[in-house]
Structure 1
Amino acid sequence: MQQHTQLVLDQSTSGTKLLVVQEGKIIKRYDRKHEQIYPQIGWVEHDPLEIWGNVEELFVTALKENRLSSKGIQTLSLTNQRETVIIWDKTTGMPLYNAMVWQCNRSTAICESLIGEGKESLVSEKTGLRIDPYFSGSKIKWLMDEYPEIKEKSGTGELAIGTMDAWLIWKMTEGEVFATDASNACRTLLYNIHENDWDEDLLELFDVSRKDLPEIRNANALFGKYQGIPIQGVLADSQAALYGEDCINCGDVKITMGTGCSILMQVKEKKNIRDPRILTTLAWQDTQETTYALEGIIRSCGDALNWFGSQIAKVEEIAYQCNKCFDISQEEVYFIPALLGMGAPYWNNQMTASFLGMKRTTTQTDLLKAVLESLIFQIKSVIDTMEEVSQLTIPQVFVDGGISKNKALMAQLATLLNKKVIVSDIEEYSAIGTLRMATGNIPITTVGEQVYFPINGDTIIKNKYKKWNDLIQRFS
C-alpha cells in the first residue's frame, strides 16, 4: 500500500538511481547516467544541473509508473558520492563551476605546498584524513584561487559550498534548507571529528568562510521536504553501505567495489587511531550515537574496467570467460592500476598506470585478468594494513558493488585474504543503509548472500600478489 512507500535517491559517481521501497522491499529501480567531464588529464567534473535534471526526471517517472502521489510517500532518503564539491550562488541558484569530483587531482600542487609547510599533522589529528586532492578542502581552495568572482562572494551570505547531498537538498527544498550530515562533512578536510563541527583552523588553512558552509544535522534528522515528502536519512554512500551491511561491531569490515573501492572497518568510538597509510573517518552520527571507522580508499576499481573496455577491448566480449572460470593467468602480466594515482595504503598521486610483463603470447584476456587481479591485490594490501594498525584480526569481510557479482573473482579474493568473503545478491547497500537510518532500522528485505571460503594450499594467487606488491613498492 502506498502509505508504506519510501523512496531512496542514490547519487553516485557514474549516475543517479531512485529506488521505490514498499513494505521494506525494493520493488523498482530507476537509473540515469550523467556525463563524465575530463577537461585535462587528471581533471574530473560533473555538471550539477545535469544531475539535478536527472533527479527530477527519475522522480516523475517513478511516481507515474507506480501510480504514486507525493502525499502517500513516507520518506525520501539520500545517499551520495562523497568528497565531490559544488559551489553555487544562493541568489541565482546557479553553480559557479562544475562539480569537482573526488577523482580530480588538479589540486595536487596545493596539497604538496601544505605538506611542505608541515600542515599534515594538524590536518590528520583534527580530521583523521590526509592532505590529499581526493578530499574537498584543496578543491575548494583551488577554486577560490583560480576564480576571483567566487572568492569575492565568500562570506557575503550569497555563496554556498557543499558536497553533492547539500546541493540536492538545497534544490529539493527550493533553497529553504542548506544542510549536510556528518558523514559527508567529515570528508571535506574542514570538519573536526573530535568536536563534531567545522574547525576554524582548517577553514583558515583552506581559505573557506564558515558562512559558506551548510548546517550539519544528524543523519536521521529531517532535511526539509521535496514536493511534500519528508527528506530523512542522509548518509555518504560508503558509510551508508557499512550501516546497510549491519557492520556495527568493532572489527566488522565491508568492501564496496564501485567506480572506486572503499574499505571500511567499524571501530566504534576509537577515533584516535592515526597511521599515514589508513584513514580514520566518522561512520555516522544520529540521535543515538557517533561511531567511527578505519578506511582504505582505492581510486580505480570499476573505473579501471571502464577504461579497459573503452580503450583496449570490449569487456563484455571476454568478461564471461573470466567470470565463468577465473583461472589465474599463467602469463606473468601485472597491471599497475594507477589511472588516477594510487590510494591506500600507498598514496602516490604521481604514479601512472601500466602493464608489465607482456609478451608475444599475451592476449586481451590476459590483460583483463591482470586488471581484475589488481583489484583484489589492492584490497589485500588495505586489509593487511588495517589488521596491523588496529591490532585486530578480521575473520570475514562483506562485499557489495557491481564487481562483486564476478563469482570466480570473489572466490580468488577469499583465498588471497585467507578469510570468509560474504557477497550479497543485491547491490543496493548504500540505499539500504540510508533507508534504515531514516526508518529506525526497520527490517529491509534482501535476497540472500553467497559465501566464499579460502582454498587451503592454493598459492598461485598469493605468489602473484607478492610480485605485484613488489612492483608497486618499486615504482612508488
Structure 2
Amino acid sequence: MTQQYVGAIDQGTTSTRFMIFDHDGAEVARHQLEHEQILARAGWVEHDAQEIWSCTQDVVKGALESAGLTAADLVAVGITNQRETTVVWDRRTGEPYANAIVWQDTRTDKIAAVLKAEHGDTICHRSGLPPAAYFAGGKLKWLLENVDGLRDDAEAGHAIFGTIDSWLIWWLTGGPATDDRPEGRHVTDVTNASRTMLMDLESLAWDDELVEILDVPRQMLPEIASSSEEYGLTVADGPFGAEVPVAGDLGDQHAALFGQVCFEPGELKNTYGTGNFLVLNTGEEIVRSTHGLLTTVGYKLGDAPAVYALEGSIAVTGSAVQWLRDQLG
C-alpha cells in the first residue's frame, strides 16, 4: 500500500507553519515563517492578512518540497489558528478592508465596557464570554464603526468577516469567484465561533439577539460547521497544486486540548506559548463559571454532540520574550 499523509496548517500569533505527518503520527516535514507584528499605536496589535496568506502558501510548498511529496500524497489537511483575530475582506476581490485586529489588541476596551454595562449578563449567558476586548465581536464592531464604506459593503453582501481559519479556508477553496469556479467556502468551526460573543453555546448558531446587540450585519458572518468534516477541496492553482480535502478546523487552544488527548470530563491541558491557556474538558455539559473562567466549546466531531470546556488564560507570557528580543535587539 502507498504511504499516505496528512497535513496541518498551524497559523499562530507570531508565525505560520505547515507540518506533514505519516499514518503513524510521525512528523516527516515542516516549514515555518514568521510574520510582522504591526504595533501602530499603544494597545494596538495588527497583522497583515495578505502576508499571512502568503506565508501559508510558502510554508505549504516548502514542507511538501522538503519531504519530496505532492498533494497526491495527502489524504487531507487541517487548520488550527490563533483565535479571535479578526479579518474583514471584500469577497469580490479578496482584499482586506484593514489590517487584521489581533486577539491581543485592546482598542475595543470602551466598546467592551459599554457592552458589559448594558448587556453583560445576556452576552455572558448566551455566549459563555464576559464582554472584553479579547473577543472577535467587539473587534468587528470597531471595524464597522471606523472603516469607511465597510458597513455599506457589509449590508450589500460584499464585505465578509472571519477569524483566521475562515480567511484561510476561503482562499484555499477558491477565493473570489471567477468565470471558471465558484467562490471559496466562507465557513468557521464551532470553537472559533464560540470566541466571538455572537454564537449561542447551546444552539451552536449565531444568536439573533447578540448579533443585534453588537450591530453586526448578519450576512457578514460565516457558516458555522463542526471541527471535523470536509469543508471543501483546495484548488489546483493554490499552494497544494491539486485538490486536497480541507477536513479539520479548530482554534489553537481547542486543538491543543484534543491533541493532548483530553477526551474525558475533568481532563485538562495547559499551553505555554504567546500566552498561557489552561483548558478543562467538561464533557457535554455547559458549565458556567462563577470565578472568572470562560465557558467555551472544546470541540465538535462531525455529527457527535459538542464537547464543552472551561478556560483560564493569561494573554502575555511568551510574547513578552519576543517583544524584548525585537525591541532590545
What's the CA shift string for 1:60-118, capped at 9, x where partnerless? 2222222212122101111000000100000111111111000000011111122222x
Q: Residue in 2 aligned with 1:75? A: 76
Match for residue 320 of structure 2 among 282, 304, 310 = 304
What are the ranges of 5 or more consecutive residues in structure 2 without an aligned counterpart? Answer: 176-183, 235-241
| Partner amino acid, structure 1, of 2:265 | C
- Which residue does the alignment assign to 1:208? 216
Q: Could you tell me how far apart the structure 2 residues matched to 1:2 and 1:195 are?
A: 42
**SS of equivalent residue, structure 2 residue 295:** strand
Partner letter of residue 145 of structure 2? D
- AA aligned to 1:7 is G
RMSD: 1.4
> Alpha-carbon deviation of 1:3?
4.1
What is the letter of the counterpart of residue 6 of structure 2? Q
Mapped to 1, the partners of 2:82 and 2:326 lie a distance apart of 23
1:193 aligns with 2:201: yes
Contact 1:269–1:290 (8 Å) recurs in 2? yes
Match of 1:283 among 298, 301, 317: 298
Q: Give distance in 2, aligned partners of 1:215 and 1:253.
A: 29
Structure 1 partner of 2:239:
none
Report the Cα offset of residue 285 of structure 1. Answer: 1.2
- Whichever residue aligns with residue 82 of structure 1, its letter is R
CA-CA distance at 1:311 after TM superposition: 4.8
Gaps of at least 5 residues in structure 1 are: 315-476
8 Å CA contact 2:287, 2:310 repeated in 1: no
Alignment size in residue pairs: 312
- Tell me if structure 1 keeps the 8 A contact 2:123–2:129: yes
Q: Aligned partners of 1:281 and 1:78: how far apart in 2?
A: 19
Letter in 2 for 1:55: T
Question: Which protein has the bigger helix share?
Answer: 1
The separation in 2 between residues aligned to 1:101 and 1:151, in whole angstroms, is 20
Alignment of 1:223 with 2:231, yes or no, is yes
**Do residues 139 (structure 1) and 148 (structure 2) align?**
no
- For residues 97 and 198 of structure 2, the distance between their equivalents in structure 1, rounded to whole angstroms, comes to 21
Aligned to 1:372: none
8 Å Cα contact 2:29-2:66 kept in structure 1: no
Query: Where does residue 35 of structure 1 map in the other structure?
Result: 36
State the distance in 2 between where 1:5 and 1:278 align: 38
Matches within 5 A, 1:77-476: 77-117=78-118, 119-175=119-175, 176-226=184-234, 227-275=242-290, 277-286=292-301, 287-311=303-327
d(CA) in 2 for partners of 1:39 and 1:256? Answer: 28
- Where 1:31 maps in the other structure, the secondary structure is strand
Q: Aligned equivalents of 1:28 and 1:208: distance in 2?
A: 41
Q: CA deviation at 1:276?
A: 5.2
For the residue of structure 2 that corresponds to 1:222, the secondary structure is coil
Structure 1's 173 and 42: CA in aligned 2 closer, same or farther, altered over 3 A? same
Q: CA deviation at 1:4?
A: 1.3
TM-score by length of 2: 0.91
Contact residue 265 and residue 295 of structure 1 kept, 8 A: yes
CA contact (8 A) 2:81 2:251 kept: yes
What is the CA distance between 1:307 and its match in structure 2? 2.9
Contact 1:270/1:292 (<8 A) preserved: yes
Matching residue of 2:181: none
Q: Is the 8 A contact 1:127 1:193 kept in 2?
A: yes
SS in 2 for 1:201: helix
Q: Shift of the alpha carbon at 1:310?
A: 4.2
Give the stretch that moved more between structures: 68-77 or 43-52: 68-77
- Say if 1:257 and 1:302, in contact at 8 Å, map to a contact too: yes
Supply the distance in 1 between the matched residues of 2:131 and 2:217 (Cα, whole angstroms).
19
